[in-house]
Chain A
Amino acid sequence: MGLATCGIAAGADRVYAALESAIRKQEHNIQLRRVGCIGYCREEPLVNIHLPGKPLVILHRVTEADTGRILHAAATGDVPRDLALCRINAWDPIVGDKLVFGTGFEDIPAYETTPYFAPQQKIVLRSAGLINPEDIDEYFAVGGYTALHKAITEMSPADVVHEVIISGLRGRGGAGFPTGLKWNFTKEEQSLRKYIICNADEGDPGAYMNRNEMESDPHMILEGMLIGAYAIGAREGVIYVRAEYPLAIERLTAAISQAQRHGLLGENIFGTDFSFSVTIAGGAGAFVCGEETALIASIEGQTGRPRPRPPFPAQKGLWGMPTNINNVETWSNIPVIIHRGGKWFSGIGVPENSGTKVFSLVGEVECVGLAEVPLGTSIRTLVFDIGNGGLRGKAIKAVQTGGPSGGCIPASLFDTPLDYAHLTEVGSIMGSGGVVVMGTETSMVDTARFFIGFTDEESCGKCVPCREGLKHMLMILDKILAGRASVADIEILEELSGLIRKTSLCGLGQTAPNPVLTTLRYFRNEYEALVERSRSS
């Protein structure tokens, strides 16, 4: 039973309870397990059913009323066809041996031919929705912690960093800085204490990749951090998770204590000199705390406000010590890179953009969910092949990528590849991977207003362009939407956008005007129509 927050919201916990009590009452020889989420939010609640020798069958939109016939069919070696979404004959968890489920049920579509899954390539979500995130044994069964073993018993820290450098992995938190180079900065610092941090303060509206990664496969993140700590020379790590993710915190906490019990966290791991411990720090609801210097301030108990860089955290980070911070998804890629090699990883995606990226596809799109595709995949493939186009067949006007710091990309540019450089070229950013689809009825001025409203509310208030500039941008956008603005107001809006972008202290401010700049670039007519209206009235 898929039991991540998304599934639970769709009623999966009630279905789980119904299945559990029915199995107990009817004394079926059926084992019921929790798994994370395979990423197809639209079809939840999802139940994976595996009968010996048969493929794993994913049942979708399961309700409590269905539990009786699911169990009845299972008892007779079958699955209810009307609930079957697809079947998986075998699965490659990338790190461990191939999982072979079985054959049969040929009339159920294969996972590989299901439109939602076909274009996807699961590297980060390699086990999400297939293993129990609360059971370390299931993580072992998919090759868990073997990459760690390889790193600390067969490789030097320099080898590990080298492997990450040649993999070409870039930070998945938004800015896309090469991970191996970042590690090397902290590795080269001479210090008695160093820290690593996992940034799990995911806060973009409509983005929930990291939540699923933590809820579905928490050990993958711990293993990535362990390998990173070994490479960098850190003995302590912190996972900074937003408090709005209680289930992620619960599963990470459980994963940490299981890893401790197995000697995978603590002193002398695998009998070597390498020791490492991890603690969890909860956020308090400030978006700006995803910025690394504000995040560090928050862990230290100070107000979550960014400070100027340099000094970078690699030189002076948590408690003044060299610190390496990576996003959840960045850490998730590390075990794969160590297991398969940097060269293998660099072959996925496109040059300068190796690997995959998990996108949360939301908004007015038919198939809402988390989709993992190789970098360089076009927006069209994501929105039309995986997402199956607009909601209820409606036309799509634009997508907004990169959260509130991103931009709106019009449908005419949907052949743009999803990679760092191309998204920047069209005025948006990769960001953490949120993709909000907008239909033709959406007002782009209103969309811009929503995102400026968000960043205005989340601005920490330290530097004047972000604090005061966004406030005035919001006031002007309200004026335009109310039909009380003039052409001069659009010009002031443009000037403020430039000012905030050029003079803000941190990334939040520097990117905050992007939704306005891109909507002015691609949908200026909508602004002008509103201004025209005010002139004629």
Chain B
Amino acid sequence: MIRVVINGKACTAEKGESLLSVARRKGIDIPAFCYEETLAPYGACRMCLVEVVKGAQEGITTACTLAAAEGLEVLTQTSEIVSLRRALIELYLAQAPRSEAIRALAQRYGIQKTRFARKVRPDDPLQNRCILCGLCVRICHDVMGAGAINYIGRGHFTEINTPFYEESAVCMGCGACARVCPTQAIAFEDIVQTRTMKSWSGTRVPLHACSKCGRHFAPAPFVNYARQKLAPDLQQTPLRLCPDCRSREIARKAVLLSTGAAVAD
């Protein structure tokens, strides 16, 4: 363990750990949109700017990509950082005018409205909320191993979607993209036995039915994917059931066991 100093407060950290993670553990608030602990630091949203006052890279840098090192000292709320962050928030307000997360952050920073021209597309599959932080692209590729979506185009023309805006054959419908999205831009909908990824070119994924009650409860390709990850002797039973039936089943077995009755599967 090593010692770093954030805003004058001493914190312990693992050597090489992301400074953003150290700060958050200590309850020091640094905003960030493109950071997710399961993924490698990306440095795209630029919200987690901090000033290194003592360390190898002195000056302003992003906390997510800053590796903790012995004696590192940073400041997270200098007047310069706050004003840079405010300007970045204004850019986000213009880019993703429908995002409530951005508006909430703007409010915390005392920003009433952006000075920049707002971009609103009526047919935006990402509901004018996407800030191109890339978390969805990275979680889909790096963690889920699917790679169903990616960047299209370059610069401010960049969009995120499936290749050629066609239904994806590799999307498992797991929804990890929607879960990590910091601005709730990604929409999907379950209707009876089909999940439709509305943001991803209408990709349809069949839902798996519970073997007991028959309710469609999870995307079938994802159920298969998850089953493969389990040890061979666990691959059969638990995932056939929806969470409700599974709870009932576990409760039933527990009660029977306590009464000393024989338990059948």
Q: In the assembled complex, which residues on chain A have CB atoms less than 8 Å from the CB atom of B84?
A: 499, 502-503
Are B88 and A465 in contact (CB-based, < 8 A)? yes
Are B134 and A462 in contact (CB-based, < 8 A)? yes
A410 vs chain B, min Cβ distance (A): 29
Are A499 and B156 in contact (CB-based, < 8 A)? no
Are A469 and B91 in contact (CB-based, < 8 A)? yes
Q: In the assembled complex, which residues on chain A have CB atoms less than 8 Å from the CB atom of B134?
A: 462
Q: Which residue of A is nearest B115, CB measured? A: A492
* Residue B94 is within 8 A (CB to CB) of chain A in the complex: yes
Are A310 and B158 in contact (CB-based, < 8 A)? no
Q: Give A503 to B154 CA distance when docked, in angstroms.
A: 19
Q: Give A470 to B156 CA distance when docked, in angstroms.
A: 9
Are A464 and B150 in contact (CB-based, < 8 A)? no
Q: In the assembled complex, which residues on chain A have CB atoms less than 8 Å from the CB atom of B116?
A: 468, 472
Given contacts A308-B65, A467-B132, A472-B91, contact A461 B46 (CB under 8 A): no
Q: Which of A457, A464, A467 has the most CB of B within 10 A?
A: A464
Q: Give A457 to B46 CA distance when docked, in angstroms.
A: 20
Q: In the assembled complex, which residues on chain B have CB atoms less than 8 Å from the CB atom of A286?
A: 154
Chain A interface size band reads 20 to 34
Q: In the assembled complex, which residues on chain B have CB atoms less than 8 Å from the CB atom of A502?
A: 60, 84
* Residue A471 is within 8 A (CB to CB) of chain B in the complex: yes
Q: In the assembled complex, which residues on chain B have CB atoms less than 8 Å from the CB atom of A458?
A: 154-155
Q: Give A458 to B154 CA distance when docked, in angstroms.
A: 7
Chain B interface size band reads 20 to 34
Q: Which residue of B is nearest A499, CB measured? A: B87
Q: Give A44 to B44 CA distance when docked, in angstroms.
A: 47
Given contacts A303-B150, A495-B87, A502-B60, contact A464 B46 (CB under 8 A): yes
Q: Give A308 to B91 CA distance when docked, in angstroms.
A: 21
Q: Give A518 to B41 CA distance when docked, in angstroms.
A: 34
* Residue A463 is within 8 A (CB to CB) of chain B in the complex: yes
* Residue A281 is within 8 A (CB to CB) of chain B in the complex: no
B residues neighboring A (CB under 8 Å): 41-46, 49, 60, 62, 65, 67, 84, 87-88, 91-92, 94-95, 115-117, 131-132, 134, 150-151, 153-158
* 27 A-B interface contacts by CB (under 8 A): A286-B154, A303-B150, A308-B62, A457-B154, A457-B155, A458-B155, A459-B154, A460-B155, A461-B151, A461-B153, A461-B154, A461-B157, A461-B158, A464-B44, A464-B95, A464-B132, A467-B132, A469-B91, A471-B156, A472-B91, A492-B115, A495-B87, A496-B87, A499-B84, A499-B88, A503-B60, A505-B43
A residues neighboring B (CB under 8 Å): 286, 303, 305, 307-308, 310, 456-465, 467-472, 475, 492, 495-496, 499, 502-505
> Which 10 pairs between the two chains have the least Cβ-Cβ distance?
A461-B158, A459-B155, A308-B43, A308-B65, A468-B91, A471-B156, A461-B155, A499-B87, A472-B116, A462-B44
